[in-house]
Amino acid sequence: MFEIPSDLPLKLSSLAWLLGHWQGWGTVAAPGTMPPAETDTKDNSATQPAEEETDSRFDAVLQDLEAAVVGEQMRMTIRTYEGELADEFDPLWTAAEGLDNIQPGALISEETTYWSVDTPLAVVPAGPDEGRELRVVGSGTRGFAVLWAGVVMGPRIQLASDAVVRAPRADALDHFSRMFGLVGGELMWASEAMPAGGEYEVEITGRLQRTASADEVAAKTSRASRHEDGDPSDG
């Protein structure tokens, strides 16, 4: 269901494969499995037992991702819901199989980001390992505002946080990195987070299928906007 949207700016052409509505499943790090922040133990390290390492555990979730053209940028909204398993979890499920076997629960998080392509169109990447530079900014319900820098190389994207602002009660995470890729027609993505004083750990993964084109997403958004404005033509 991949179609080039009618309003696609030329400068966003390298992101065209990502546009549309995607749905599927993923995993999130279960509460308490992210490593804690380091503390100063120089005065009592000899008397305190070594802290046990926390085993990572991941819970299945459902995900909804929309990527649409907004002016000269791409807007991406990701919603993650608790997953209620109808049967035993299989990590090899396709996106469609995950949707069939996982029922949506409460909303865990919602995040909206705005993407810009910084590399001028006149600059042609020299090889497969050189892509177009991305600048992404956004925030979400978890209490983070993040400025990202990254690169898109064909149907692959790598992002790393350039600056992170945390709300007072947000988790003590200092850096993030993300990867997106189109594999066999499905969108695979993963996000890593770095706790204060720690190392990168996988925080969330996703495996999604496209369920609507970019034009269909834009039409739905337009109808919703007219309805909110009380447009009588929106019947």
3-state secondary structure of 47: coil
Q: Taking the model in full, what pTM does it have?
A: 0.83
- Tokens representing 91 are 């990590």
Q: With CA atoms as reference, report the closest residue to 205 among 77, 29, 52.
A: 29
Checking if the pLDDT of 45 tops 60, the result is no
Name the least confident of 36-40, 61-65, 134-138, 208-212.
36-40
**What is the mean pLDDT of the segment spanning 113-142?**
87
pLDDT digits (tens, 9 = 90+) for 52-95: 444 567 899 999 999 999 999 999 999 999 999 988 999 999 99
Q: 166 or 224: whose pLDDT is higher?
A: 166
Contact 108, 89 (CB under 8 A): no
Amino acid present at 184: G
CATH of 10-30+56-228, one of 3.40.50.1970, 2.40.128.20, 3.20.20.70, 3.30.1330.20: 2.40.128.20
Residue 44 has a pLDDT of 45
What percent of the chain has pLDDT above 90?
64
HSE-up of residue 122 (Cα within 13 Å, Cβ side): 0
Domain residues of the chain, as ranges?
10-30+56-228
**Distance of CA 80 to CAs 141, 142, 161, 181, 222, Å?**
11, 11, 20, 18, 24
Residue 46 has a pLDDT of 40
Residue 56 has a pLDDT of 62
What percent of the chain has pLDDT above 70?
79
